[in-house]
Amino acid sequence: MRKITLYLAITLASLFLLSGCALLLSQFLAGTNQRQYTAYVYFNGLPKEILDKTETVTMKDVIVIDTLSVVKFSITEPQYILQEYNISYIVNGLNKATAFTFTSPESNKVNIEASLSMRYATDTTFVPYSLDISIEKAEYTLPNNSKNFYVLIDMTDETNKNIKLLDFSNGYKFIIRTSNEEFVRIFDGEKYRYLFTKNISENNECVFIGERGKTYTFESLATTRIPLTRTAPLDPSISSEVVELK
């Protein structure tokens, strides 16, 4: 069986520079002009270059050697850093176990810049491919002036780089499970996104963050099973569901 060795080193640097806006007193931290934010950072798709190099194999033939994910939040000193090495943080979010919380001056704007670096090979004896993606700094409006929000590194088959902010209450978690470690494809009616499942906690799974009210089609690229279509519910009491592609 053909094996692919994938060395994945990801550096995601996010610089947050916040501008002021009026907030309710209850939103301030006691005795300060500070606000507590909680960010949920997810990779919501793979770069197209990786798909091009691995299109002839299945995910179970890919060996992930190493990963490094770093997110930096800063307004003024100190700098807030989220750093993870476990592959589960690539397929299930950078902060799967606990959300990342930091304190900064209150605002309704955020500037974000990011970079993504990868090395991967189609054989252990070959020189690895190199991939470097930069997302230039741009200003984003915090959705609904939210203090809890998703930061989605949103990559599709048509583009390699996009950052999307989503109010936490408007996000919906699809937990995709497959029989083996497989590439999966998600279609939102306009664009395709690709992810891969890994054996995490006795399940081959990955996480995709959808937007409430929108419909998505999920498909395993390793099986001939009919794709499944799901709509992210508007009911706020429902936060997630499992999509079984087995």
Q: Cα dist. 45→36, 59, 102, 123, 185 in Å? A: 28, 15, 26, 23, 9
Residue 18 confidence class, pLDDT cut points 50, 70, 90: very low
In this predicted structure, which of 38-52, 81-95, 165-179, 187-201 has the lowest mean pLDDT? 81-95
Question: Is the pLDDT assigned to residue 58 strictly greater than 90?
Answer: no
3-class secondary-structure state, position 164: strand
Q: In the predicted model, what is the mean pLDDT of residues 26-49?
A: 71
Is-above-0.85 flag for pTM?
A: no
Q: Cα dist. 72→122, 179, 222 in Å? A: 31, 35, 36
In this predicted structure, which of 20-29, 112-121, 188-197, 202-211 has the lowest mean pLDDT? 20-29
Q: Give the strand pairing for 34-43 and 148-153.
A: parallel
The domains of the chain are located at: 4-24+32-245
In this predicted structure, which of 35-49, 59-73, 83-97 has the lowest mean pLDDT? 59-73
3-class secondary-structure state, position 27: helix
Residues 6+ away with beta carbon under 8 Å from 26: none
Separation of alpha carbons 69 and 85, rounded Å: 6
Separation of alpha carbons 38 and 20, rounded Å: 18
R_g over Cα of the chain: 19
Query: Which residues pair with residue 103 across a beta bridge?
Result: 36
Residue 28: its pLDDT value, please?
Answer: 40
Residue 20 confidence class, pLDDT cut points 50, 70, 90: very low
3-class secondary-structure state, position 159: coil
Strands of the sheet containing 100-105, edge to edge, are 100-105, 34-43, 148-153, 163-167
Separation of alpha carbons 51 and 158, rounded Å: 12
Residue 188: its pLDDT value, please?
Answer: 95
Between residues 10 and 146, the one the model is more confident about: 146
Beta strands in 122-180 (DSSP E): 129-141, 148-153, 163-167, 171-178
Q: Cα dist. 118→52, 69, 126, 170 in Å? A: 14, 11, 15, 31
Q: In the predicted model, what is the mean pLDDT of residues 44-58?
A: 69
pLDDT tens across 139-153, in order? Answer: 788 899 888 999 888
Residue 25 confidence class, pLDDT cut points 50, 70, 90: very low
In this predicted structure, which of 32-36, 74-78, 233-237 has the lowest mean pLDDT? 74-78
Q: In the predicted model, what is the mean pLDDT of residues 147-163?
A: 82
